[in-house]
Amino acid sequence: MGVFSADSFSLSIVPPIHPRQLSGIQTEVQNASEPSSSSPGNVNVSSLQADSRPLLLITDPDHIEKSNLNRQFLFHAKHIGLSKSAVAAEAARQMNSAMRITSMEEKVWPANEKTLFTDEFLLNLLSPEGHKSTDSPAPSGIVLAALDCVPSRRYLDTRCVSLHLPLLESGTLGTKGHVQVILPGLTESYNSQRDDDGGPDGPESIPYCTLKSFPTLSIHCVEWAREKFASQFTLKPERLSQLLTVLDRNRPGRQLSVLCASLLRIPTANSDQLFSEAERETKTRWLSGQLTCSLASFLASRPIDWCGCVRLARDKFERYFNHKARQLLHSFPPETRLADGTPFWQLPKRQPTPVEFCATDPLHQKFLMSYSRLLADQLTITLPADVDFNSPNTEDLAKHLDNCLQAYTPPVFVPSAKRIATDEDETSEVSVNNQNAEASTGGDPLNLDEHTIRALRTTLTALEDAVKLRCELL
């Protein structure tokens, strides 16, 4: 089956298959490594029907992005920017050369209902007798859908119900997912239920640019916070844990030591005590292919005590609520106007105001203390016994924060020239172009900034000193 995008109306169509047809099937050769697939004019139903062998027709107008690689196993880095349907078809052929697949890049939606995906097209392709039967549906093929856009599901379901076509409806919606078999005249259809929590048109999805830079509703802020939580406390720790499992599980301090050294491309002290030469070379080569700037920054900021947790929380406060707003105002100054002369900063876009940290502000305190406690829980760091985290006395918490932040210097804001997406429709294209540019320049994943390098060297030194101390004590 194809892999589908949220804004497209895509499907896979499987015409009738008899068990005896499954043997001796020949493959229709098609070069799906090129970015384009079959155009509408190249799909001839008569020629498809002339061949009695089973056929899988897939369509998806979307192209592969880097974000697809970690959850869609048919796609790899070399496919970024290529057609999803074409690459999926070629990958399926490589797994089973007997498959006959035709790939397209067209949407199945009202705009081409009268020109391409007409009733006649679908009936002739799916039904052996080329007609619909209301009394006793003839044996037919099946429509397979995997969409994460509710309106497209409802449209496709309506088409299949009206034409009496079997439909395997599946897809995702946020954290939800489902699979539903819809048989003409036998089962309810997708539109029979309204359990998507959003009425006839389904729930409103949040565009990427809105979530990252231009929130307009409180729900946008909640979703932004959820994404940050998942990144800091779930995804990155899981990735780091996966890397550490290839090292000595009984000596976690040495695990981090080797990982820091690999990030900095320097040898570790006493490395011969960890592995044999061959094993060390294998592990180093594997680590080099897995490490990224994001993981390096996460590891460099990893606190080792409670005050470190508070300082990291203070860093995050500065970047989330001050630097982000200043970057937006740098990229789009208040006087910025659109091509038609209207102000850029007008509703629904809200001009941001950089937040200056105040240790006595209850909201600021709550963020720092909550973030710090989550970090401490994640890293099994003991909480200070002399602090009442539920105390309504903001002065006591302010004093505690001041003590933890002694000699602390917040990160300095440095304007970036990175492009900020302002239109939800351009996000996909920008992402693909960025990935292609990275690939063309070599895309060195470890071009670390000076702050990260200093922090990693400090971490490495502390870990090496701890190892030496333990050795002396023993």
Q: Strand, coil or helix: what is 146?
A: strand
**CB 411 within 8 Å of CB 319:** yes
Instruction: Give alpha helix (H) positions in 180-323.
Output: 208-212, 218-230, 236-244, 252-264, 277-290, 293-300, 306-318
**CB 140 within 8 Å of CB 130:** no
Instruction: Give alpha helix (H) positions in 109-217.
Output: 119-126, 150-163, 208-212
d(CA 182, CA 464): 62
Question: What single letter denotes the amino acid at residue 410?
Answer: P
**CB 79 within 8 Å of CB 24:** no
Active-site option among 160, 209, 309, 404:
209
Q: How far is CA 160 from the centre of its chain?
A: 31
Question: What single letter denotes the amino acid at residue 148?
Answer: D
Smallest Cα–Cα separation from 361: which of 317, 316, 406?
A: 317
Q: What is the number of alpha carbons within 13 Å of residue 408 lying toward its C-beta?
A: 18
d(CA 330, CA 352): 11
**Burial bucket for residue 90 (CB in 10 Å: 0-12, 13-18, 19+):** buried
Q: Which two tokens stand for residue 144?
A: 């397979």
Please state at what angle helix 252-264 crosses helix 277-290, rounded to 10 degrees. Answer: 60
Is 260 considered catalytic here?
A: no
**CB 347 within 8 Å of CB 217:** no
Give the catalytic positions in this structure: 209
